[in-house]
Amino acid sequence: MRERLGIFGGTFDPPHIGHLVTAVNVRHDLDLDRVLLVVNNVPWQKVGSREISPAEARLQMVEAAVADVPGLEPSRLEIDAGGLSYTADTLATLLAEDPSRELFVILGADAAAGILTWDRYEEVREMATIVAVARPGAARATPPPGDWRWIEVEVPHLEVSSTDLRQRVADGRPLDYLVTHEVVDCIEALGLYQEGG
């Protein structure tokens, strides 16, 4: 049996319920065996835009978030690879481990719309099916020119952003129901997102 494997990469700074709802719904709709939440080591598209929490801390939060969620798994693949994180490298590594795998790259509509800006996007196109996550009533991401395997999956729209969550911590506002309580505990234990930090 070929493994149907979802790859949901991100900074996850912090991981929130929007990430989890997306991963769970895509896994269900596409009958995926697993969805890996792949924590970027150094996200090339965000370098210099803001301070990013250490990769190990972000992985710890993802581990806390998905510990009890069947079919969702944290992945440190890009952390172990070191340097800048590129989806093409991650897909190549996963296929080297098991060439029979069927890979599905899970993307928000914004990321899917910008896929031609990606480093080595042609390799991504060859190795995986793109799963463009659609929100009810929101604009759709259409496949760019070329022979893309492209699936759209609609998931519930949750207005949650990691940027807002970091600011909430800095301001002393609660994160309840925006992230899992395990992630709240992790943020507190690691002292992340404090004012001036």
Per-residue confidence (pLDDT) for residue 8, from 0 to 100: 98
DSSP H or E run through 79: helix 77-81
Tokens of 20: 């989890």
**Which residues does residue 7 pair with via DSSP β-bridges, in sequence order?**
36, 105
Amino acid found at 164: D
Structural contact between residues 17 and 178, judged by C-beta atoms closer than 8 angstroms: yes
Sheet strand arrangement including 4-10: 72-75, 34-39, 4-10, 102-108, 128-134, 150-154
In a structure prediction context, what are the per-residue pLDDT tens digits for the chain, which is 197 residues long?
Answer: 899 999 999 999 999 999 999 999 999 999 999 999 999 998 766 666 678 999 999 999 999 999 999 999 999 999 999 999 999 999 999 999 999 999 999 999 888 999 999 999 999 999 999 999 988 887 788 899 989 999 999 999 888 999 999 999 999 999 999 999 999 999 999 999 986 54
Instruction: Report pLDDT for 197.
Output: 47
Which residues of the chain form beta strands (DSSP E)?
4-10, 34-39, 42-43, 72-75, 84-85, 102-108, 128-134, 150-154
Which pLDDT belongs to residue 44? 65
> What is the enclosing helix (H) or strand (E) of 65?
helix 55-66
Task: Please give the backbone phi and psi of residue 109, each rounded to the nearest 5 degrees, phi first.
Answer: -60, -40
The domains of the chain are located at 4-159
Q: What is the pTM of this model?
A: 0.94
Beta bridge partners, 85, equal 43
Domain 4-159, CATH among 3.40.50.620, 2.60.40.10, 3.40.50.1820, 3.40.50.2300: 3.40.50.620
